[in-house]
Chains A and B, each alone.
Chain A
Amino acid sequence: MIRASNLSKFYGGKRALGPVSFEINDGETVGFLGLNGAGKTTVLRILACDLRPSGGTIEVGGVDAVSDPHEVRKRIGFLPENPPLYMDMTVVDYLSFAGELRGMARGQVKRRLPDVLDITDLADVAGDVIGTLSHGYRQRVGVAQAIIHQPKFLILDEPTRGLDPRQIVEMRNLIHDLKQNHTVLISSHILTEISQTCDRLLVFGKGKLLGSGSEHELVASESEIRQITVTVRPPQGEDPKGAIRKVLAAVDGVKSVAEPYEQGGGLSFALETTKDCRAEVSRAVVEATLDLIKLDYARSELENTFIRLVGGADASN
């Protein structure tokens, strides 16, 4: 289990993270989601004992990462945003070096290598110099170095960054395989990427933890907020916009009515509602002798939830 409590990090006088607290259970695959600069990489680097936190505590498998980083490093495999590769080494030499650095005996590394090459599909290029490999292969070598010592926890920072669509699918499949034997932590700013791979998401923004839970839970927590867009033909007369807004705002379940905009010869009003009140809205429009042109309904999906959470963080800063 990973337990972070009031974790914070300052770069100079600037707060880059926290305080944030979270727990990750064994066997989980957790996605760290957030825009660039949200604090994901900082958290992951602290977890990998590459950075020391400015405050708070962090326990990995019951071991304090600040007071005993050596022990934690043995339990963690880390693939940073830029894979830590030596371009002049062959894949096998590099993986042997990485394994020995992580405390494995030479014999152990030798026995482990075929499995790692198989899992990461690197057997064909095992004798090649890393500098001659494609970006996709280099990323795989990066994953291979992270799993060579069979760590309990695997941290992957933007593992699909810079990969082409085919390589992204391959990397996704690889991560899916790794989930069987590791607790996996993945960071990304690409929503679809992370939602397809992870059991649970931690949403970061401006160094703060904005939300946590499965995709379903995150969406459900926001499910009270729905959006209905009504387009009506504007009637003749003074201040038609104000009159229509008044009609819509009076409908049971409508929380707010945004400023209208013109669309397809009509006026469109975005309503934020606390329930699905399409029937009530359409009835109110007709009873007010307005011509209803269009009625759109949007549930708060993960993407909307994410934007809402991140937007909230921006607003509070």
Chain B
Amino acid sequence: MRATSIIYRRELGAYLRSPFAWVMAAVLLLVNGILFQSQALAGEQLSAIVLERFFYFSSFLPLFGGILLSFRLLAEERQNHSMVLLTTSPVRDSEIVLGKFLAALTFFAVLLALSFYMPLLIKVNGKITTAQVLVGYFGLFLMGAAVLAIGLFASALTRSQMIAAVAGAVITGLMCILYIFAKKLDAPVREVLQELDLWWIHYQNGFMRGVLNLKDVIYYIAVTYFFLLLAVKTLEAKRWQ
């Protein structure tokens, strides 16, 4: 855990020093604000529906932000040769992956927190419960964690940041449209693929509407764990190559 904490601090410092991270955060928040103004607030609607639409449009924050925050995490280390410092120190591969993941997740949480003024505006001018807001944000946070883990795994595969970003985006994209594929298939494959969908089933049908299902929480935690484990195994395998 000590090594994880050391790597976490360095990585978080790198985010805070990086103009790219701040520019990316600013652009994502700007787009989020524009979507909120132009889409979520369009027409006269119940405030609960406005909030639901806010969470619908905000789901691009974890989907895009997760990839943008994670694609460089390991690929850049390899490209800049700094990975050797980590791999020749008494540090486990799992500690490297976890430290980097937690730093990215922290920055992502800050990004989410900066969007909090929008549901606050709905709450001030309408009638929504705090629980509905918190559940929605919890969903965004969990989906962000899962996408960051996918991006981190893609980053472990290659030294090219570009390839890592594309690979992460492709995996995330495929997992987001599994539901559409599933509809064309027969049971039981259909049910399995539907349950693996990253966006429609577990977010739109649950967190986005303010419904907290344990199975959705477990799903996102499982996806996060699975891809982090893949990232660790990929790093371990690289030592044999």
Contacts and interface: CB of A to CB of B under 8 A. Distances in A.
A binds B: yes
Interface of A: 11, 48-52, 70-71, 73-74, 76, 78, 80, 82-89, 93, 97-98, 100-103, 145
Contact of A82 (B81, B91, B92, B240): B81
If over half of B's interface residues share one DSSP class (helix, strand or loop), that class is named, otherwise mixed; here it is helix
Report whether over half of chain A's contact residues are helix, strand or loop; otherwise say mixed: loop
Given A84-B83, A101-B3, 16 more contacts: A11-B241, A50-B87, A52-B239, A70-B90, A73-B88, A86-B14, A86-B80, A86-B82, A87-B80, A88-B18, A89-B13, A98-B89, A101-B85, A101-B89, A101-B90, A102-B90
A84 B241 contact: no
Interface in B70-113: 80-92
B27 interface: no
Interface of B: 3, 6-7, 10, 13-14, 17-18, 80-92, 239-241
Contacts of B88: 48-50, 73, 76, 78
A156 to B, nearest CB: 13
Contacts of A82: 81
B81 A73 contact: no
Contacts of A48: 88
Contacts of B241: 11
Contacts of A145: 85
A84 B85 contact: yes
A88 B239 contact: no
A35 B54 CA distance: 63
Contacts of A76: 88
A145 B10 CA distance: 15
B6 A101 contact: yes
Nearest to A157: B84
6 contacts: A52-B239, A80-B84, A82-B81, A88-B14, A97-B10, A101-B86
A83 B85 CA distance: 9
Contacts of B86: 101
Contact of A50 (B3, B82, B239): B239
A101 B84 contact: no
B85 A98 contact: yes
